[in-house]
Structure 1
Amino acid sequence: MKRRVLLLALATTSVFSLWEQPALAQKKAAPVVKKTGDVIPDDPDVKIGKLANGLTYYIRKNTEPKNRAVLYMALKAGSLMETDAQQGLAHFTEHMAFNGTKDFPKNELINYLQKAGVKFGADLNAFTAFDQTVYQLPIPTDSAALFKNGFKILANWAGYVTMEDSEIDNERGVIVEEDRQRGKNAQSRIQKELLPVLLKGSRYAERIPIGKLDIIQNFKHNEIKQFYKDWYRPNLQGVIAVGDFDVAQVEAMIKENFSPLKNPANPKPVVKYNMPDNKEPLVKIVTDKEFPYNVAVVMIRHHGSVGKTTAEVKAGIINGMINNMMGNRINELKQKGTAPFVEGQFSYGAYQGGLIPGLEATSVVAVAKSGDELTKALGGVMTEAERMSQFGFTASELDIVKKNLEAGNEKSFREKDKTPSNSYVQAYLSNFLQGSPIPAATYRYEMVKRLLGEITLEDVNKKAKEMIKPENMMIVIQAPEKEKEKLPTEAQLLATVQGAGKGVTAYVENKVDKPLLEKKPVAGKVVSEEKIEGIDVTKLTLSNGVKVYLKPTTFKNDQILFSSFGEGGTSLADDKEYLAMNYASNIAGDGIGEFDNTQLRKLLAGSTASAGAYIGDLHQGFSGSASPKDLETALQLVYARATNPRKDPVVFKKNLDDYKVMLQNADDNPESVYGDTITAVLSSNSIRERKPTPAELDAISLDKSFDFYKARFADASGQTFVFVGNFEVDKIKPLLETYLGGLPAANHTEKYIDRGIKPLSGKVERTVKKGIEDKAQVKLYFHNDYQYSPENNLQLSALSDILEFKVLERLREKESGVYSPNVGVSYEKLPSPYYNLQISFSCATANVDKLIAAALDEIEKIKKEGATAVDVEKFKAESRRAMEVSLRENNFWLSYLTSKFRNNEDPLSVLKQNERLEQVTPESVKAAAQKYLGGADYFRAVLVPEK
């Protein structure tokens, strides 16, 4: 099961901040938005009801995706409700819901759903937080019996978990291993030291959802049964159902399954917990031997609101605007090379990701090169925060962010009838748990449009000033242990924060007043056109040799995606020149011509167009997206990135300096050392795959990198583009002729070079001894040359998935030795066909050999006996269900078609997928196991602690 993890908030809040609802489709007339301050009405297209026992339900019909529904059962109870003797049992209860219920004993629930094509972990899942527990069940609706049983499953979770003593005892080890897998690292150790400060004086600090391991391992069975009895009650539960179904039938099924649930005769009261204010700043400095960076964070807590009125939504939009504009200012400093920090961030949003309802926070983050530079780094970001607070933003900055928000609002509204069911579910979940609004699409669109028009520079600057205050402040330092003596003192940190605003002046804007392209390219022509029947694809060949494949779709109303490839990539660089040539892939991110990224962002304000260039191992090309109305801008970006790249020595130096910072403590991190060891074996110690040294970085020439970039895009004759989305072929032809047909072409026939990078052959074992926790990591690789074909690929995928069923059953359910083992497979055709099947898990150090032996034993069983018919049935069901959804997604078609054309394969292959699935049998899996898991080329990589 997923478990929400407490994290130090480092990420910038999204533009809409408090306003992250989906584009809600609607059929009825939307209520009129009258004035700021109105309570936002619920969308009339969602049926909200309450049973006599207090259970709340939300039902909505939605056909994206078709023949699918998303069902949730949410509980307004979590770890905060635990007694001292129950710490960790809210989360443990969530696990037990999958280990036996009244109608689905033991593991029958998971087996039943897997046979129906529902994947455990990816689809079927749950999570536990402080004040909530949520179960999720995406399920097909084209089987009436299966769909009906979906509600029986939710009801079983809600009130009929059996809690057998033996199952409880078996699950103890799994939860211990979950804690080991997710924790027992530098970040978790630091987190434990920070919690008393981050959550000071609150019950939250005493009720972390994973609980206490000594309680997990030793609690009496009755404790968890009592928790379930006390808190899994209908007046705290909500059921959400969104999908392709009949609303009246779903309501009847909810009433049938959930009405019998009873509340306790004397229910325990639900206590609302908060966090006390602190007038004086709280400071905490934490170091760890394995932590790789020097990070300073200032958090200033504020009391916030849910956003039930248009006034609160307006405030949320303003918060998002400020985050966006501050992010742009900080990025501009980095682009100029004048930033005194390696990385800086500013954000205003829910405190600690929303862990404590009603609390928000301003967060300022600075990353420094070393401990003795932390005060300078923190002072640099705090100075920008004070500049914002004292002087606010400019009219031009606000105009840019408004244009982008308006474009986003328009795009969201145009997609209102294509909203995926899961987006609605998340909105209704927030409504049930926090009271967040759920307006109709038209209401939301009109409200945001009006609010954007109302918001003034004065409004924004007033809120910006309020974000920085001395009360409720925390200052946190996280750093490597070896930097301990260099770190600033508490007094120095306080002085830095309090003195950041002295002498600060107003922001001076870097204006831009030029077009992206000085003139249009000389257009080429379509010289040939052909149809690929069966998948509705049109192939165009342009006069400069560029090939374009076009697949119009109606999956999204306002989306066009594209990508391209041409042979060559960094494979054309010799080993001795590889680092400089490999850096060339960064050139596209530095801007275009005279425009640095800051100027480019301003130039593109209000446009949905994006397009980037890449240089990979074997190919180079472009990728991007746009609304149909902005496709021309996206194509202009492609042309500009190919013909007018930007050489920026300042950004070049900063990129290399930042990489050196990453390198300087990398060897203190067990995961990093382990990863380097694996990479060395999987690449036969190739210089092209290992991390460079600082000296090698210093030797990189920007001129050589830049010239290599230009050379890679100087000849477009080998480029193949794929476009997927809402367009008409004839209407976009002129744009393609102008911007793709106008690309320079020399008609060279370039081919990539096979540099022979493959894993070391034979049986290889590596044991890395690094780390201080009792935590081992295991990766087992089976690999070799391969006959690449759709048929073999499917058989290998079947073997991988079925082996994962068996490894999960053996290592988790039977041995209780792991949390979430993984079996994955990769196969490639280029530069030469190769496959790699990997088994990975984490565990206690003492169990490494035993669990490896158990995993290999499962392999031997499949090689001798083949797969079971039930496991083959599960694989086929999951594959069919996944393909049904994928075939209606633009991203799938873009990836699929690009891969087929790049590999020179039949693009009609997808039409035969179900035929190939019929060829997967217990015997075919047995044959695949014997062929691909023979062990002649086998790599065992183990990470164990030093002591």
Structure 2
Amino acid sequence: MLLIRFLLLGIALLFSIAVQAGRPEYFEGRLDNGLVYHIFNVPSAGRQLVLRLQVNVGAADEEDSEEGIAHITEHMVFQSSATFPQGLSSHLSADGWQMGRHFNAQTGYRYTRYLLIPPRGRRQLDEALAVYRQILSPQNFSERDWAQERQVIFAEWRQQQTLQDRLNRQYDALLHQGARSARYAPIGRLAAIERAKADTANRFHHKWYGSNNAVLVVIGDLNLKKTAATIEEALGRLNPVVLPQRNLAEYEPKLSAGEHTGYVKDKDNADSKLALVYRFDNALSQSNGVQGHYHRLLDNFAAYMLHQRIQASGEAVSLKAGNIGSRTGSLSLHTDFVPGDDEAGLKRLKNLVATLKQQPVTAEETAAYRKTLYNHLLAVSDLPDDLIATVKLAEESVLADKPAPTKEVRAAERSQLYRIDAAAVNKRISEWLAAADSLVIIQVPEDLPEKLPTNHLTEQSVMPKGQNPSKKTMPVLVEHDVKKPKTVQSAMQAFAFPIHNGTGTVVSENYDNENKVAYLNLNNGDQIVLLQKDVARGQVYFKAVSDTGYLQAGDAAWQAQLAGKVVSVSAPEGASDADFQRWQRQHGIEYRYHLTHDSQITDARVAQAELASLLQLYRQQQTAPTAKHWRDAVERAAVRLPIYLRSVPGKQELELELLRYGKPESRAQSSNDIRALTEQDFIKQWRQLVSKPVRYYIVSNMPSEKIKPLLVQYLADIPRQNIGNSYRNLLEGTTLRRAAINDTHSTDINAWSWQPFYDWTPDTSEQIPLLVNLANARLKEALRRRSQSTYSVKFTAMPKQSYNRVESNLFFSTAPEKASEAWEQAQQILQHLPENITKAEADNLQRLFIEQEAKRQKDPEVWLERLAASHKHYGDARYLSRLPQLHRTIIQTRLRQTAKLLWSSQNARVLLVDPANP
């Protein structure tokens, strides 16, 4: 999937604005002690209040003896002090604040950010500012507190030792080579955490935590003048500090002429990925004022045009553009490749770059995109009356040292649009693609040989300070004798689905007038459920559900899984990948297919006028499947199998299968078995997968009678046959297994339970997610704050209405010596949760439901999910008719009853994954 980060602040923050009563307002101020504050009045926020305090110091500011100390300081400010002897964190928890939900913090390379969402909203503005006053006040951290909090940071460090984290760390070290941010992750390395002292955190806090190094953001339905006065009263007496001088060159990646190659490897990695990265000076694009507006706009134009051309090429390549320093930018092309064929992958990227250089941007394209941006900037000329959008806006503007996008700033941005013409865009693209510093990053399985030469980056000649590598050997985009890239229209002439004159019929139908739901039964056994809802706004939301999954293939289930991945994304016969992708974009089709052991779900969205195109695509996959690139998929799977089976995630998955089902899933016996597959095997498995009748759920604001003819035409004669379902039976009883296979210094606790339940109601379905939130808060409070032994705690409860049961899972990591004790404590919390729910907590959950439900009511995809859930269980839409009264069922007595479904001690099965070498 293509990822592109537009560099223009104003455009990066595009969002739809709900029209509300009142008018959003903004005010910026600075206290005499240097603290800068920003107040956003969001009339629609109601009682909700969001605050951010950013201290402009992070891991990149640490000296050699301070590794990890910025993050440690972030933790220690919540510990005991003269003002809060029991600890700031404990004080907040006792007052009803939940860690993670109501108060949290994050440390990056450039800043440390403290996030507050007071549980009682704007009434607690004073309390929230008191928290920030404590954080910015002089500290005297104790070694006793640090000895306890160290265990939490150990747990957090362990959580970050996943395969993806390890790969990302290697990638970032190559991308940022030479900068302070390339040294280590913000949390620091384990040895540094082990030797850290509270006194070092004290000195770090005294050095950086001053009012003149902090930025405050307050967002809610606020009176600007009164809020400013409250901020002055609460924080005005804080003291500034004499800030250390930074050597800014140490914060930038060291660019050097030439192409450099770096490899990213890990013992558990089975994927082969490649990135071609161009790095360059982009200080002008990160500046403020008119100059910054212009260059960010120009970057936006250039990135968008490259994005369009890459899409038109049909290559499976993603584009990323962004900042990797305060004055350094990067443009990167990313792709996957068949294991062992990195040379071909790099050649493909370089050929694409050569093609991009031969496709200059035209004046017509520039004018069309300028009009689009102008309309967007005009549409968002006012601040949003939306709390979440405003929080994002603040984080990406004022907390990123950019001006808030007020009406005046938007006007200044729009004024620069007409300075940008095709020549300027082509020049910017040329500067990027001709950057003297280029980097090839290759991610491969550890045991595969390196085929490309690797240049040790630190041995390259670093360019003199201030020199811009992008000004060397700049190509000129060819502007003559160049064929214009194939347009969407010309591509469509090469590929189109035939019109299908269906022969199927509707055998029965009825209509639920109260909920505006139509039910159709087709002659092939498929069912259609249509909901007419205004929130669809001209779009059709489509879901196809089949109650058969890859287990239907028996011993060949692994083949069915592979077939599902390949066939579901294959272009139709006679169409190239590029043509097929262009066709989907032309018709605006969003299309996703998901295969599990017992189901298949196709989710799609399209404009009403293009519904026929969506149905053509779905029908083609059901009746005329193809398996293009099956050989590549086979080779990837063959390479992956042995790596996965010997990896920690692979071993853990096998242990969980034995724990829950008593036997492992079907897998290929060897890589040779996978390589023996043929294209016919893929097609055979797919045809078996899609043979069972399907239920279709559709949400649209069109009357059902206007949609029915198309649905019948394309769906009613898809061949189906009734076959039984295959699924895995969960084991009964309690058990605890231990496996010494972990490669970190922790023990992972993975606990599952299930219990039968038949009396499903809409009330139960909505109460379970609320109670899961409460259970997570209780578990985090006990396992992280009181026990000081865990960091990652995640509890889920999943209603499985098809099987009339509830399945629950608890996962967390802890120190090996505390694993058994922590598990017993967690189990006690879950067992006693029902009786411990207080009236205040029930009232809070009811308010939370009302707030969330107001947003869900506007989301067509939520209505689609509810329609499917109601019809699946009840055979009708009664779920929908119960929604207006559901909040009345969220009361203490009902919640206590439903909470009993969250955990079953009778069927609790626990896996403790211990370190391989304790």
TM-score bracket for the superposition, by shorter chain length:
0.7 to 0.9
Superposed counterparts of 1:46-445, under 5 Å: 46-63=26-43, 67-99=47-79, 106=86, 112=92, 120-122=99-101, 124-139=103-118, 144-159=122-137, 163=141, 166-183=144-161, 198-206=175-183, 208-264=185-241, 266-269=242-245, 272=248, 273-279=251-257, 282-285=260-263, 287-304=265-282, 305-306=285-286, 308=288, 309-325=292-308, 327-328=310-311, 332-333=314-315, 345-351=318-324, 356-365=325-334, 367-371=336-340, 373-389=341-357, 391-392=358-359, 420-436=386-402, 438-439=404-405
1:115/1:72 Cα in 2 relative to 1: closer, same or farther (>3 Å)?
same
**Superimposed CA distance per residue, residues 884-917 of structure 1 (whole angstroms, 9 cap, x where no aligned partner):** 5444544433323332222227313434433433
Matched letter for residue 904 of structure 2: L
Any conservation in 2 of the 1:568–1:753 contact (CA below 8 Å)?
no
Structure 2 CA distance, aligned partners of 1:103 and 1:889?
A: 45
Does 1:753 find its partner at 2:724?
yes
1:530 corresponds to: 512
RMSD of aligned residue pairs (Cα, Å) = 4.8
Superposed counterparts of 1:675-686, under 5 Å: 675-685=653-663
Does 1:464 find its partner at 2:429?
yes
Q: Aligned-pair distance for 1:271?
A: 5.3
Matched letter for residue 13 of structure 2: Q
Q: Aligned-pair distance for 1:829?
A: 0.9
Q: Which segment is superposed worse, 317-326 or 665-674?
A: 317-326
1:482 corresponds to: 447
Structure 2 CA distance, aligned partners of 1:196 and 1:333?
A: 28
1:808 corresponds to: 780
1:828 corresponds to: 800
Any conservation in 1 of the 2:751–2:911 contact (CA below 8 Å)?
yes
1:818 corresponds to: 790
Q: Aligned-pair distance for 1:360?
A: 0.8
Any conservation in 1 of the 2:31–2:236 contact (CA below 8 Å)?
yes
1:190/1:719 Cα in 2 relative to 1: closer, same or farther (>3 Å)?
closer
**Superimposed CA distance per residue, residues 586-621 of structure 1 (whole angstroms, 9 cap, x where no aligned partner):** 534224565444224434557654345566655556
**Superimposed CA distance per residue, residues 172-194 of structure 1 (whole angstroms, 9 cap, x where no aligned partner):** 111122112112x5566667777
Matched letter for residue 913 of structure 1: L
Query: Does the residue aligned with 1:650 lie in a helix, a strand or coil?
Result: coil
2:467 corresponds to: none
Structure 2 CA distance, aligned partners of 1:749 and 1:198?
A: 52
Matched letter for residue 567 of structure 2: I
Structure 1 CA distance, aligned partners of 2:367 and 2:568?
A: 27
1:310/1:757 Cα in 2 relative to 1: closer, same or farther (>3 Å)?
same
Q: Aligned-pair distance for 1:135?
A: 2.0
Query: Does the residue aligned with 2:448 lie in a helix, a strand or coil?
Result: helix
Structure 1 CA distance, aligned partners of 2:690 and 2:321?
A: 41
Does 1:839 find its partner at 2:810?
yes
Does 1:13 find its partner at 2:14?
no
Query: Does the residue aligned with 1:789 lie in a helix, a strand or coil?
Result: coil
Superposed counterparts of 1:514-913, under 5 Å: 514=493, 519=499, 529-532=511-514, 537-541=515-519, 547-550=528-531, 552-553=533-534, 560=539, 562-570=541-549, 573-575=552-554, 578=557, 582=561, 583-584=563-564, 586-591=566-571, 594-603=574-583, 605=585, 608-612=588-592, 622-626=602-606, 630-643=607-620, 647-685=625-663, 687=665, 690=667, 694-695=671-672, 697-698=674-675, 702=679, 706=683, 719-723=695-699, 727=701, 729-730=702-703, 733=704, 735-745=706-716, 753-770=724-741, 772-787=743-758, 789-790=760-761, 800-830=772-802, 832-856=803-827, 858=829, 866=836, 881-883=851-853, 885-904=855-874, 906-907=878-879, 908-913=881-886
Query: Does the residue aligned with 2:342 lie in a helix, a strand or coil?
Result: helix
Any conservation in 2 of the 1:67–1:140 contact (CA below 8 Å)?
no
**Superimposed CA distance per residue, residues 668-702 of structure 1 (whole angstroms, 9 cap, x where no aligned partner):** 421232123323543443646x5785455456565
1:917 corresponds to: 890
Q: Aligned-pair distance for 1:936?
A: 4.1
Q: Which segment is superposed worse, 211-220 or 919-928?
A: 919-928
**Superimposed CA distance per residue, residues 292-340 of structure 1 (whole angstroms, 9 cap, x where no aligned partner):** 345554433201122644421332223422542464367x346xxxxxx
Matched letter for residue 226 of structure 1: R
Any conservation in 2 of the 1:13–1:323 contact (CA below 8 Å)?
no
Query: Does the residue aligned with 1:633 lie in a helix, a strand or coil?
Result: helix
Structure 1 CA distance, aligned partners of 2:276 and 2:223?
A: 51
**Superimposed CA distance per residue, residues 67-111 of structure 1 (whole angstroms, 9 cap, x where no aligned partner):** 434322222222233344433222122223444577766466577
Q: Percent identity?
A: 14
Which structure has more relative contact order (CA 8 Å, sep 6+)? It is: 1
Structure 2 CA distance, aligned partners of 1:225 and 1:121?
A: 25
Any conservation in 1 of the 2:315–2:578 contact (CA below 8 Å)?
no
Structure 1 CA distance, aligned partners of 2:194 and 2:414?
A: 51
**Superimposed CA distance per residue, residues 683-726 of structure 1 (whole angstroms, 9 cap, x where no aligned partner):** 443646x578545545656557657767887998x6442316xx
1:469/1:162 Cα in 2 relative to 1: closer, same or farther (>3 Å)?
same
1:657/1:443 Cα in 2 relative to 1: closer, same or farther (>3 Å)?
farther
Q: Aligned-pair distance for 1:127?
A: 1.1
Q: Aligned-pair distance for 1:414?
A: 6.7
1:567/1:513 Cα in 2 relative to 1: closer, same or farther (>3 Å)?
closer
Structure 1 CA distance, aligned partners of 2:374 and 2:867?
A: 31
Query: Does the residue aligned with 1:810 lie in a helix, a strand or coil?
Result: helix
Structure 2 CA distance, aligned partners of 1:402 and 1:605?
A: 21
2:469 corresponds to: none
Structure 2 CA distance, aligned partners of 1:666 and 1:438?
A: 47
Query: Does the residue aligned with 1:46 lie in a helix, a strand or coil?
Result: strand
Structure 2 CA distance, aligned partners of 1:656 and 1:404?
A: 41
Q: Aligned-pair distance for 1:779?
A: 0.6
**Structure 1 unmatched ranges of 5 or more:** 1-9, 29-42, 335-343
1:737/1:417 Cα in 2 relative to 1: closer, same or farther (>3 Å)?
farther
1:56/1:423 Cα in 2 relative to 1: closer, same or farther (>3 Å)?
same
Query: Does the residue aligned with 2:569 lie in a helix, a strand or coil?
Result: helix
Structure 2 CA distance, aligned partners of 1:122 and 1:531?
A: 41
Query: Does the residue aligned with 1:903 lie in a helix, a strand or coil?
Result: helix
Structure 1 CA distance, aligned partners of 2:75 and 2:709?
A: 58
